[in-house]
Structures are given as C-alpha cells and as structure tokens.
Amino acid sequence: MSLFGLFDIGKSSLLASQTALMVTSNNIANVNTPGFSRQGVILSIASPVSGKGGYLGTGVVVSGTKRHYDSFIQSQLIGQYQNYGRSYALDNTFSQVEMVFNETIEIGLSASLTNYFNAWHDVAANPEGETERTVLLQEAEALVSRAKSMESGILDTLKQTNQQIDGMADRINSIASDIASLNEQIVQVETGADSESAYALRDQRDNLLNELSTLVEFTSYEDTDGSITVMVGMRNLVSGGMTNSLSTNVNEDGNNDLYLDGINITDRVNGGQIGGLIAARDDIESGSLYDLRKLIASVTKEINMLHTSGYGLDGSTGNDFFNPLQLVSRDFSSGADISSSITDLSALTLDEYEITFDASNNYYVTNRQTGSVVTSGAYVSGNVIAFDGIEVVITGVVTPADKFSVSPLSDAIGNFGVAITDTQKIAAAASDTDLPGDNTNALNIANLSDASIANLGNTNFMDYYSGLVSEVAGMSRAASDSLQFDDNLLYELSMRREAISGVSLDEEALNLIRFQRSFEAGARLIEVTDELLQTIINL
Amino acid sequence: MRITSFMIHTQQTRSIQRTMENMMKLGNQLSSGKKAERPSDDVIGTVQAMDYSLLINNNDQYKRNINNAIINLEFADLVFSSVSDTLSELKDSALAGLTAENRPDMADDVALLRDQLLYFGNSRFEDRYVFSGFRTDIESFDPVTYDYQGDSGIINVQIGREDSLPINVLGSDAFSYTLTEEEVIQLDDGTYIHYIPGPGTTVDVEIRDTDDTTVLDSFSYSNFIQVADLLSTALESDNVLRIQALLKPLDEASEKALDIQADTGMRLKRLDDQTGWINENTTDLKNLFSDTVDADPTETSIRILMTEVALEALMESSVRVTSLSLMDFLR
C-alpha cells in the first residue's frame, strides 16, 4: 500500500464524520417533531487490503443509517390510542348528559317535582283557594318545562354524537387516503432496498395510524413490500394504495350507522372515539333518556288517573290534569299499516312493544323491556290486538320481514303539558256533593309523591329519579376514571416509545462533539500525510 | 431508561397540569362553598343530598300545613269560648225565667242570645263557613229553621309523612246533641220529662203528667240554637214546664262546648308538638345536608396553600432541569 492510501483513510474518516454529523443535526432539528424516530449512522470497517505486514485496514465506511424504532411498542400504542379514544368519547358525552342532571347546582327535576306535589298539599289545605290553584298550575308548568328542557338537553347530546360520528367518518376517510398514498411511496422507495429505509415516510404513516386509532378501532398488518393493510370492522379500509370509503347512514331509530364497503359495521366498532360515541349513544338512549321518559310517563299516568276520578269546583269530572299519554307506533313494513290506542290507562305497563310476524302469518307482540311475548295469534287484517291496556289494529298484508313498534314513552315528554287551564277544573274533591271544601282527592294526589309506583319497580317518583341521577353520575364517574386510567397508560407507553425513539439533546450534543473531533482528526491525518509526501518530494 | 428532552417536557407539563387542575377544583370549592361541582364528583353524596333536601322540603310543607291548621283551629277555639259564654248566659236566663214575673220581657234578650249563637254557628274565616264540613260555601245553619245545612266532611291535612289531622270542626257535631238512649227526669211536682233520641241528632222531648203516660207537651230540637229558640218562645208564652225541660239540654250544651274546646286544644297541642319535632328534624337534616354538600372553607384554604407550595416547587424544579443542557458547554 502506498502512502496515498493514507489520504483515502483520511478521506473515509472525514466522510463518515460528516455523515454522522448530518444525522445528528437532523436528529437535533427534529427534537420536537411528533412521531419522529431518531436515527443513527451505522459505521463499519472498510475492507482491508493485503500488504506486506498482512491485512491492513483501509478506513471506515458508512454502511447505512438506523432508525431507532420498536414495532411492538408501536402496536401497543395503537391499541392504547383506541382505548383512550373510546374513554375520551364516553367521558365527553356522559359528562354532557350529566350536566342535564346536575343536582349539585339544583339543575334537574327534583326541585320542580317536589314543588309540584307541595302545590297539591297547599290546594288540599285550602281547596277553595284560587291562589293555591293558580300556583299549582304554575308549578305544573314549571315541571313540564323542566322535563322538556332536560329531554332536549339529552337529545341535543345525541344529535351532537351523531354529527361527531359523521365528522369522524370524513376524517377517517382522509387519513385512509393519506395512508394509502404513503403506502405507495414507501413501496417505491423500499423496492430493492434492504429493509425499511423510508424512515420519514414510515414515521409519517405511524403518526397517521396513531391519529386513526384515536378515532376508530382497527387491526392492521404490514405486507412484505412495506405497505400496510388497515381493517375496520373486519373490512378493508386501506389495502396497499386502495381505500374503501367509510360512510354513515341514518337507521330506523334516527341514528347514524357506519358502513364500510357497503356493509353495516356499527356493531363491530367498539374502540376509538367512534366506538365510544356509539356506545355512549346507546347507553344514553336505553338509560337516562328512557328512564326520564318513563318517569314523566308515570307521573302523567298516575296523576291523570286520580285527577279524572275527582271533581273540580265547577262540578266537572273526568278531566285530565296533564295531556293524556299518547302511543307512538312505528311502521317498518311495506304493505301494512298500524293504528294504536290506549284503552285502559291503569293496565298500562309503560313498556315498549314490538310486533313481529312469522311465515305462517302469526303475529307476536313482544315486550321490549322484558323480552317476553305478551300475546300472539293468527293475523287477520283489521282485527284488534289487545294487550296490557293497549289496542292495536293492523291492516294490510304482512310478511315475516315486517315489524311494528308501539311505545307509550317516545312522546311522553314531547307531548307532556298541562291540560287544565281553568283553575275551577282542578279536581281537589272526591265527590261532587261535597264541594267546595272537599280536599280528599287533592290530598290523594299530594300523597302520590310518597306512594310506590308499580310501573317504576315499586319505588316512588323521587327515589326513581334519585336512582336515575346516581346512574348518570355513576356512568360519568366511571367514564372519567377510565379516561384517567387510559391516559396514564398511554403516557407510560409513549414514554417507552420515547425512550427508544426520542431525541435526547444531551446525547446529540455529545455526538456532535464526538464526530466533530473525529472530523478534525481525519483532517489532521490528511495534513500529516501531506507533510509526509512533502518530505519525500524534498528528498 | 433513556431520558429524552421530550420526556422531561411531557412529564413536567403533565405534573403542572395536574396541579393546576387540582388548584382550580379547590378554587371552585372555595368560591361555591360546595364539595362537588357535578354529581359525578360525589355520586353518593349527591343522591344523599337530594334525599335530605327532599325531606327538608317536605318538612317545610308540613310546617305550612300545620300553620294553616293552627290558624283554623285557633279560630274554632275562639268561637267556642264565646259559645260557652253565650250558653252560660242562656242558662242564667232560663234559671231566672223559672221564677221571674216578666218572662215575655226576657224573651227578647234570649232571642238575641239565640241570634248570637246562630252568628257563631255561621262563622266565616277566609270566606269559608268553617262549621259546614266540605260545604264551606253555604251557611252552616239555616237562619230560619236553624237546621244544620252542611255535610259531615272532615278536612284533613298532612302534618307528617304518615300523619294527617282534621282541621275543621263540624257544626253538626259541635252544636248538636248525641243522645244514645231515652233519658227520663222527674220534676219536683211529679211531672216526667222524656228525652227520646230521634233521627240524626234530633232529640224529641215529651213532658208527661205524673202518670208518666199522658203527654202534656212535646217538642224537639237538634242543636243549641234551636234550644235557645225554644227557650225564647217558652219565655214568651210563660211555659214554665218547657223552661224546666230545656235546662238539661242547656247544661249539656255547655259541656259539649267545653268538650269541643278541649278537643281543639288537644289538636293544637298535637300540632305544637309536631312543629317542635319537625323543627328539630329539619335542623338535623340541614346539618346532615351541609356535612354532605358544603366544603369546609378552612380546610379548602389550607389545601389551596399546600397545592400552591407544590406548584411553586414544581415550577422551580422544572426551570432548573430544563435549563440544564450540554449544549451550553459546547465551545
């Protein structure tokens, strides 16, 4: 090996140090870039040549750069982002509903419910009094408006939930198409290369996957060519450079269902914010909204039953105090129509019913709350089907796919209102011969507040409502606790990711010094070699 | 574990954030004076507080009912103390009438006393005829026949969860007689007077000769006012036998009036006791409510101070840690 070989060794040292300095600078520059994985140079010994003293080294080569990355932690992170997203959505939605029932600042039904029954006590104490009767009507109106604003508070939350699902579906589609295009770029860059060399693109894709996982639950796997397949609800969202669009469709209950590739995947999505929103929506509908409506329906039913039996100051009887309960029947059939009415208020269970048909033209009426069949028989168009104080008439041709629902609750709050306008018609008396001083009926109604109500599981109105408040508060509490938990777990995992992939400025500073020194040494080597050559030339 | 700048930064941000959150919660507690801002802050406490405030509210209602009952009963009590006075004046007149010479002259005075009784019987309070049962819109006693016109409606009010109490006094009871079986008295001259229970509160009186069969005179009455009216006519017509026969119902009337006063007195006492109990109970409930709901300002303030110290320490250490960098030592 000639003296010039020394130049080459010096050059290799300079180049290696320069590359290392570039990688270090890039790390420093990206210290705050989210999702950035730090890189390092891989230095190796240049192939030695055989010389007089045996094999001699020829310097250093940069054989590549390395991305500090742990795919196991990354996949754990994605799973945790999904949990976090779900908890976040649940916490957010439940705490909104909770505000509707915020009894700590006396927003809620308890005050107006108590005031209403107290107003009946006052009427009982002075049944002839015009003032007491007027106050009663005012308290009743207050109860009505309170119940209505609570229902609309819950309905607003549900509406927002559906809108959010819709908005998130759009965001998911845009993330999906970004992932697809990154997939294509990664495949291009990495074709022919040893392994995952498209670091920046992969970091970007991981970032998108992280964001996607806070939105929706998915599974993913990486193909050998480096592209990633993302599946939501067992359907492909992204596959290579292709995407399927996630869309929402309004279902029969007025809620947004998720469709991917034309298939309804609503029930298969549990994680991510969308999964949380779907779960929260279902919980609210079958929980707080249902219970609130049932409470109001029960108040309407019990008060009206007593009130219609009493007599007003003008001797009139049979007057409803609140607007009578109305059944809402819904028709999920093409060839048949339904009409329904309440025939016996006292027999009403305040449950919801579903009417279905089998292939041999039999009908089945199922109580949706208990799940049991309350009545069944052969279907004849126009015949009366009677059960639990309700009469239903279905006309037309039915098929096994047809379905009807009958609910005394859907409109219980929507239709809730004070039917009495004339104070004279408030039925404080139990008999028309004992007017005007008879307060028996007023006392009976006032005492309803303490009576156990069969439709409410033998609790009284206030206890049922307290149960509702504690259920709502408990759900909100549980959601915020699990959000806290998921947040901590997510933090731990991201710290573990950071420990491997994050940039430490101190470390990079040390690298900076280290490679600066090696660069200086390489330069010095060239200088020395030059002097050596000078010496030889000057011989 | 490798520690990176981002880790230090995140950890510090989270710690400061948590402490700030805590601080804000405490600040809210101090300003609102309440432990919980929303039900989920204290699920059990919220439901308990609702329960307490319902009970307090119910107690307030019972107290209003009781006050209303007290006013009504005190009024009835007042009326009956006047009724008692009038009845004893009637008794005096009757006794005087036995021996007096100028009976017809006394008749007018007695008629005035009768009208006074009628006035008491038809007492009105807050526009209601208080002795008419449920028929508070009509006069309790007919101003001509003096017959009771009301019904037997008892107006109850709730004075406790399981407690109700009638707040009215029925004219048909308070001004009337309850004779269960025939009673006979013999006067000094051997004349018999039979008091025979008739329909309702009616008492039929027969004055019989010494043979206890020949009916000399008969009349009937069903309430004090009618007795007063009978006395007035007996004086007018110098009918000493009748006056003698009316002495017994007059005595009974005074007793009855005293009974009614005793009864209203008992009820008032009961209401008084109930008020005391409700007040005590309400105080207990209010204390419980406050224990459940209210934040202790002293404790909250101390906790705020502690959090403040923690926050300061956190900030100080954050600044120290982040200002340390190897970059500073590069030349």
Each residue of A184-241: pLDDT tens digit?
999 998 887 666 678 889 999 999 999 999 999 999 999 988 899 999 999 999 999 9
Average pLDDT over residues B6-22: 91
Query: Is beta strand A362-367 parallel, antiparallel or unpaired with respect to A256-260?
Result: unpaired
Can you give A59-105 as a three-state secondary structure string? CEEEEEEEECCCHHHHHHHHHHHHHHHHHHHHHHHHHHHHHHCCHHH
Contact residues, chain B, for A520 at CB < 8 Å: none
- pLDDT < 70 regions, chain A: 1, 193-196
Rounded Cα distance, B168 and A128, in Å:
14
Q: What is the pLDDT of residues B182-196, one digit of tens each?
A: 889 888 888 899 999
Is some CB atom of chain B closer than 8 A to the CB atom of A139?
no
**A residues 462-491 near B, CB within 8 Å?**
462, 466, 469-470, 472-474, 476-477, 480, 491
**B residues 69-128 near A, CB within 8 Å?**
69, 126-128
Is some CB atom of chain A closer than 8 A to the CB atom of B39?
yes
Q: What is the pLDDT of residues B200-220, one digit of tens each?
A: 888 999 999 888 888 888 899
Identify the pLDDT of residue B174: 87
Find out whether A523 and A530 touch, Cβ atoms under 8 Å. no
Site of tokens 């845009």? A174
Angle CA A479–A483–A488, to nearest 5: 155
Q: Which residue has the higher pLDDT, B1 or A288?
A: A288
* pLDDT of B233 higher than 70: yes
Is some CB atom of chain B closer than 8 A to the CB atom of A102?
yes
State the average pLDDT for chain B: 90
Average pLDDT over residues B114-124: 92
Find out whether B148 and A447 touch, Cβ atoms under 8 Å. no
Q: Of A362, A340, A337, A343, whose CA–CA distance to A352 is shortest?
A: A340
Identify the pLDDT of residue B4: 87
Rounded Cα distance, B255 and B174, in Å:
11
CB contact under 8 A, A491 and B10: yes
Find out whether B220 and B204 touch, Cβ atoms under 8 Å. yes
Contact residues, chain A, for B69 at CB < 8 Å: 125
Tokens of A379: 């279907």
Identify the pLDDT of residue B181: 87
Identify the pLDDT of residue B172: 86
Identify the pLDDT of residue A366: 93
Tokens of B91: 């008794």
Locate the chain A residue with the closest alpha carbon to B289.
Answer: A104
Is some CB atom of chain B closer than 8 A to the CB atom of A103?
yes
Identify the pLDDT of residue A195: 64
Q: Which uninterrupted H or E stretch holds A353?
A: strand A353-357
Rounded Cα distance, B8 and B13, in Å:
9
Rounded Cα distance, B46 and B48, in Å:
5
pTM, to two decimals = 0.85
Average pLDDT over residues B293-298: 90
Distance from the Cα of A476 to chain B's closest Cα (Å) equals 6
Q: What is the pLDDT of residues B312-323, one digit of tens each?
A: 999 999 998 888
